[in-house]
Structure 1
Amino acid sequence: MLFFYFVIRYGVKTLRHLRARGTLETIGEGWSWLSTRTLLLLLTLPPMAAKVEPQMAEARRDIEKKLVPSGPQVNRYLSLPSEGQTRDWILSEMDKMDSYCHDFDDRGHKLHDWKDGKISGAVYHGGQDLTNLIVSAYERYCVSNPLHPDIFPTVRKMEAEVVSMCLRMFNNPTGAGTMTSGGTESIIMAVKAYRDWAHDTKGITEPEMIVPASAHAAFDKGAAYLKIKVHTIPVHPVTRQVDLARVKRAINPNTIMLVGSAPNFPDGNVDDITGLGKLAKKHNVGLHVDCCLGSFVVPFIERSFPPGTDGYTMPDFDFRVGGVTSISCDTHKYGFAPKGTSVIMYRTPELRRYQYYINSTWQGTRVCAGGVYASPSLSGSRPGALIAGAWAAMQYMGENGYHQSAKNIIIATRKIAHGIKTEIPELYILGNPPVSVVAFGAKKGSGINILKVGDTMGKKGWHLNALQKPAAVHIAVTTLTVSVVDTFIADLKDSIEEVRASKSGEDGTMVALYGLGESSAVGPNLVGELAASFVDALYKA
């Protein structure tokens, strides 16, 4: 009986895996695993290790060289000073660090200065007046902690109102939500909520989730933390939307949630949320829509561009779609709130409860409620000052302010896409991005390495993002980008000509890193090793 139990149990799991991945993909995964393990074993042999390790060591040194400043002008503070420093000394030292931590070009201009508007995403600036307001709000509530709402009732009120305003933006005024530290935490909290909901209501002990290949890595991160199996579903090569037929095939009794993006991070396209919603309702599973990047742009797209007026169609994506049960939205992106603020929203307060952590038997002192430890998200103590900054930003911008900001960003995004389509025949746009991100690759037969183009753009001061599968480069447009769209198109044309005229030489960051990832079966492992070295270098004092 025990033997047949294991045969049936693992036979069913194997069949479900085959149904979700397909026979060819499953064979490919097995071959890739075997090839990788074999090559990694070979790399441990002395002759191979003698060749590979020096190259990896050199790569690690290059990473440290780029991140850790050096030279006689660098002062290092590795221990506490015996006496506290003055305010003037501290500010002066910050000025010095700003001068030697940045790279400068031949003219003495700071490379990758976010104020130039040449940074893809990363900095979401609402103007100096708003920055000054946020600083004032931060100063007012700098010691506040929402963990103690009885001591800081104003912060509690502001957090509840930030969540309420976002719920109304996404058309669910009767829903529920919480604030988090960013999009990653919002996504992980949703994954945790669905895991616990499925366990409580369906008895699922081996949860699985279905995620588009274009979804943010935070879903994989959450699944790794929470021990959930992930089925990664490919996207259509033209539309860049997740393949609904493959999603449907991957759903099984252990499925706890589906995922869609509006828009996705890699190429800015929007999944068929309506189609995903129908599948979620039919199978009684959760559907999370990642609007972290779209945040305060996608809710205003209909107002800015009514359907059918400009050749672009923004599919339905929010709580008006039946089956959508949660949405994540970053206030610290196009909401212009201070970094470290995001909102996770649920269709019902009941679903939100599965996000909470509650310990009613803790023997510590009073926290939150008498004798009970309860917290809504990963953090216990949280910076109330950031909540105050988010509330202040939303009050300052208002609906009309966000509408105008969204309209400017969308116009700039579509201008970039149109410029590439009509003026640069060597390139093509991935999908039909309607909002704030444009990804472009090199056409077959063009003779252009798009990653080298990205590296060349970097030398012109642009800080863009490299993609793989397919190789491409993307720009996330912000309010700072709006004024330099023409410069972007001109620099992109020049970069293509420079790449065409150049001879193979030293590769830049994009080519070195992403080219290595595609070079062999062990490429991703080597990239992972370099990524770990990068994180190590962040903490090298």
Structure 2
Amino acid sequence: MDSAAKEKIASVALTVAQPVLFINSAIDRLYSSDETWWLILKACGLTYVTVRIYDQLQPFDDPKNRLVKYVGKLMTRLPAAQKKIRSEMNAIGEALEKDFYEKVKEVEYSERKMPRVASSAEVVLRKIDDHVNLGKISWRTGRASGAVYFGNEELYSMQSQALLKTAIFNPLHPEIFPAVRKFEAEIVAWTCSLFNAPPESCGVISSGGTESIFIACLAYRNWAVEKGIQVPEMVVADSAHAAFEKAALVMRMRIRKVPCCPITFKVDVGAMTRAINKNTCMLVASAPSFPHGVIEPVETIAGLGLKYGIPVHVDACLGGFLLAFMNDAGYPIPPFDFRVPGVTSLSADTHKYGYAMKGTSVILFKEPKWRDSYLTSFAITDWPGGLYITTTLAGSRPGGLITACWAAINYVGYDGYVERTKKIISTTRHIQSKLEEIEGLQTLKPEVSVISMRSDEFCIYTFMDAMAKRGWNLNPLQFPQAIHLCVTLLQTEEGVADAFIADCKAVAAEMARTPGEVSGSGRMYGASQALPIRSIVGDSLKVYVDKYYSTRRFEN
């Protein structure tokens, strides 16, 4: 290299270095008089601020949401706001605590300390008998939306006996309790077949829909991390079950919620497509959704998954054990399960329309690689207690519930599920058609077993409260304001559906005469939706949990 070239390179290097040298010189002049300890303190402070800013810029949460939460937190720290919030929370807490107490006051709370003296089995069972009929909602006669999915006494008794026979069994120890392992393996095989999964498909039994959803999210989160994605993202409809948001928070995933059509309440597929990016690790389709009971366009969403190489989970926790039988029951629906190319997992609750006791759900995977993906988090190889792996978040699990689930499926049988599905769907459509005739009520035509209701004439939550006074327990919805009835076998019993329709008609007529009155749940839900700072609403939910565990007694 000749001298001219060297001089040119040196000139370019000096030009590039000038800003650095200027900054270095400026820093020297600025801190030349500072003590060493002061320089160290400033450096630590600058590092801390830099790290905090970096954390805020991470894509774990939506920037808009972070800004709203941050501003909301600042506003709630104002002394006047804190005083108002504290006063409101205390009032909410007092009302909740009294309400909880009123429902159990016939059998007073025990002392806070556990009983010192043992009681006989007869005494304990008598005390339980004193408790089981507490409450004003007669769920046994079909007055509750969802919650209880079968009322057949023989089925209940049979499952109770099955549970009793294996109540002490624990799937964590298949070498001691081989029967419960067999029961679980057969339930998974049966449900894989029911939802048209290929021979290599697999799955596990979880404690319920939330855990099934957690396991699906964990599988796809781990898959994404293996690919080098630092913050995996899921794309869901804003009507998707709250369990997805819980899973995202726990697993440090980002959840991208996309809007639903305001008319059909199905996900906007165009918005879902635009939400997909290089960090997307799963797409979700609800079949059906909890709020409005609509079946998402599974085939279209699964097509997106195939196009972009993204796993697709079908959340059929609520109605999977209806959808699987609707075609044979005479109510054709589009494919929603593993028949659809692109669907990689599906969750369905056996303890809902599978008619098993509470505490079981299935999470199924099309290929073992997805199950292996989440099991990576549950396989512990260097624990002094030995090699350890579990199939779910829990270690020990109640084998009795798995046995009861196995018993329920055997008792009902495929043909029995078809028959029960026919009764539920026909009852749902009968109720909805009659509600449509009631002035002031609007309903969404049900695709499965959920009838959502709203009104432009009166507060739908006050309507719900008035129905509660007549003994009906309905589910409140929000964004937009609505309520729903989830139809179960109990509402198919003779006279129940017609009694519900008659009470809806009478209450709507009453509401038409006093449309401006808003009370009870209307005030609470109306106020909560009007609050732009959702953290305050969240605080009120924490108050609910606090008072749920209260054993405070009130004087009459």
Q: Does 2:363 correspond to 1:344?
A: yes
What corresponds to 1:4 in structure 2? Answer: none
Are the counterparts in 2 of residues 270 and 433 from structure 1 also a CA contact under 8 Å?
A: no
Q: 1:476 to 1:94 in 2, by over 3 A?
A: same
Which of 537, 540, 548 is the equivalent residue of 1:530?
Answer: 540
Q: 1:315 to 1:16 in 2, by over 3 A?
A: farther
Q: 1:73 to 1:281 in 2, by over 3 A?
A: closer
Q: Following the alignment from structure 1 to structure 2, what is the Cα–Cα distance between the partners of residues 50 and 233?
A: 36
**CA shift at 1:451, angstroms?**
1.5
What aligned pairs does 1:445-524 form with structure 2 within 5 A after superposition?
447-483=457-493, 484-502=496-514, 507-509=519-521, 511-522=522-533, 524=534
Q: Following the alignment from structure 1 to structure 2, what is the Cα–Cα distance between the partners of residues 127 and 180?
A: 24
Matched letter for residue 315 of structure 1: P
Q: Following the alignment from structure 1 to structure 2, what is the Cα–Cα distance between the partners of residues 324 and 283?
A: 13
What corresponds to 1:409 in structure 2? Answer: 424
**CA shift at 1:78, angstroms?**
2.5
What corresponds to 2:448 in structure 1? Answer: 435
Q: Following the alignment from structure 1 to structure 2, what is the Cα–Cα distance between the partners of residues 390 and 525?
A: 39
Q: Following the alignment from structure 1 to structure 2, what is the Cα–Cα distance between the partners of residues 397 and 474?
A: 27
What corresponds to 2:239 in structure 1? Answer: 214
What aligned pairs does 1:78-117 form with structure 2 within 5 A after superposition?
78-98=112-132, 102-103=134-135, 111-117=136-142
What corresponds to 1:367 in structure 2? Answer: none
Aligned-pair RMSD on alpha carbons? 2.5
Q: Following the alignment from structure 1 to structure 2, what is the Cα–Cα distance between the partners of residues 304 and 71?
A: 46
What aligned pairs does 1:116-515 form with structure 2 within 5 A after superposition?
116-174=141-199, 175-200=201-226, 202-307=227-332, 314-356=333-375, 357-364=378-385, 371-421=386-436, 423-430=437-444, 432-443=445-456, 447-483=457-493, 484-502=496-514, 507-509=519-521, 511-515=522-526
TM-score (norm 1): 0.86
Which of 71, 89, 114 is the equivalent residue of 1:56?
Answer: 89
What corresponds to 1:108 in structure 2? Answer: none
**CA shift at 1:469, angstroms?**
1.2
- SS of the aligned residue for 1:257 comes to strand
Are the counterparts in 1 of residues 322 and 421 from structure 2 also a CA contact under 8 Å?
A: yes
Q: Percent identity?
A: 39
Q: Following the alignment from structure 1 to structure 2, what is the Cα–Cα distance between the partners of residues 438 and 502?
A: 25
**CA shift at 1:134, angstroms?**
0.7
Give ranges in structure 2 of 5+ residues lacking alignment. Answer: 1-15, 17-52, 552-556
**CA shift at 1:51, angstroms?**
3.6
Are the counterparts in 2 of residues 295 and 333 from structure 1 also a CA contact under 8 Å?
A: no
Are the counterparts in 2 of residues 332 and 338 from structure 1 also a CA contact under 8 Å?
A: yes
Higher Cα Rg, which structure:
2
Are the counterparts in 2 of residues 355 and 376 from structure 1 also a CA contact under 8 Å?
A: no
What corresponds to 2:40 in structure 1? Answer: none
Matched letter for residue 205 of structure 2: M
Stretches (4+) displaced over 4 A: 13-17, 32-40, 69-73, 503-506
- SS of the aligned residue for 1:263 comes to coil
Q: Deviations over 1:325-357 (max 9, x none)?
A: 000010000111110000000001121111211
Q: 1:213 to 1:42 in 2, by over 3 A?
A: closer
- SS of the aligned residue for 1:461 comes to coil
Matched letter for residue 392 of structure 1: A
What corresponds to 2:24 in structure 1? Answer: none
TM-score (norm 2): 0.84
Q: 1:131 to 1:173 in 2, by over 3 A?
A: farther
- SS of the aligned residue for 1:211 comes to strand
Q: 1:485 to 1:388 in 2, by over 3 A?
A: same
Q: 1:304 to 1:528 in 2, by over 3 A?
A: same
Q: 1:194 to 1:40 in 2, by over 3 A?
A: closer
Q: Following the alignment from structure 1 to structure 2, what is the Cα–Cα distance between the partners of residues 461 and 128?
A: 22
**CA shift at 1:516, angstroms?**
1.7
Q: 1:76 to 1:238 in 2, by over 3 A?
A: same
Q: 1:360 to 1:36 in 2, by over 3 A?
A: closer
**CA shift at 1:363, angstroms?**
0.8
**CA shift at 1:98, angstroms?**
4.0
Q: 1:36 to 1:167 in 2, by over 3 A?
A: closer
**CA shift at 1:538, angstroms?**
2.0
Are the counterparts in 2 of residues 259 and 287 from structure 1 also a CA contact under 8 Å?
A: yes
Q: 1:53 to 1:154 in 2, by over 3 A?
A: same
Q: Following the alignment from structure 1 to structure 2, what is the Cα–Cα distance between the partners of residues 296 and 87?
A: 38
**CA shift at 1:495, angstroms?**
1.2
Q: Following the alignment from structure 1 to structure 2, what is the Cα–Cα distance between the partners of residues 324 and 35?
A: 35
Matched letter for residue 446 of structure 2: P
* Count of aligned positions: 493
Q: Following the alignment from structure 2 to structure 1, what is the Cα–Cα distance between the partners of residues 109 and 66?
A: 47
Give ranges in structure 1 of 5+ residues lacking alignment. Answer: 2-9, 104-110, 308-313, 365-370
- SS of the aligned residue for 2:484 comes to strand
Are the counterparts in 1 of residues 198 and 366 from structure 2 also a CA contact under 8 Å?
A: no
37-46 or 286-295, which deviates more = 37-46
Q: Following the alignment from structure 1 to structure 2, what is the Cα–Cα distance between the partners of residues 52 and 189?
A: 37
Q: 1:33 to 1:154 in 2, by over 3 A?
A: closer
Q: 1:429 to 1:75 in 2, by over 3 A?
A: closer
Q: Following the alignment from structure 1 to structure 2, what is the Cα–Cα distance between the partners of residues 289 and 493?
A: 36
Q: 1:282 to 1:16 in 2, by over 3 A?
A: farther
Q: 1:456 to 1:41 in 2, by over 3 A?
A: same
